[in-house]
Amino acid sequence: MRWPENNNEYQIIESDQLEKSSGRLNEAELRVYKEKLTYLSRNPRHPSLSTKPLHPSSKRKKQLAQQGVSQVYEFYINRKQWRCILYIYDEQKVVYVVGIMNHGEVIRHMK
């Protein structure tokens, strides 16, 4: 798994669920999320993002592949609790911001 080489070619789309999940953030965390989304749009390898690939289970990987998802990544909003999950659709040149989850929710989401 590798992050797309030229992110400028990729469109960033936020999911409908994102509004609901971002409502769980306090004001400071929401500000950090928005800042990091700006970093993502400009440079997905920005050190502040700490972007990491996620490794879904075989079953989940198959489901995601059927939906056209090429790769799954996360970046931390804060180290203690919140992560932002990203699906990469290489064929469509889309980075889809799935939602904001805590560590346990990420693990369940990847099963």
Q: Could you state, in chain order, the average pLDDT of each consecutive group of 10 residues for the chain (111 residues)?
A: 62 88 91 92 83 94 95 90 93 92 93 92
The pLDDT of residue 2 is: 57
Judged by phi (left if over 0) then psi (alpha if -120 to 50, else beta), residue 11 lies in beta
Query: Contact at 8 Å (CB) between 88 and 98?
Result: no
pTM for the model stands at 0.88
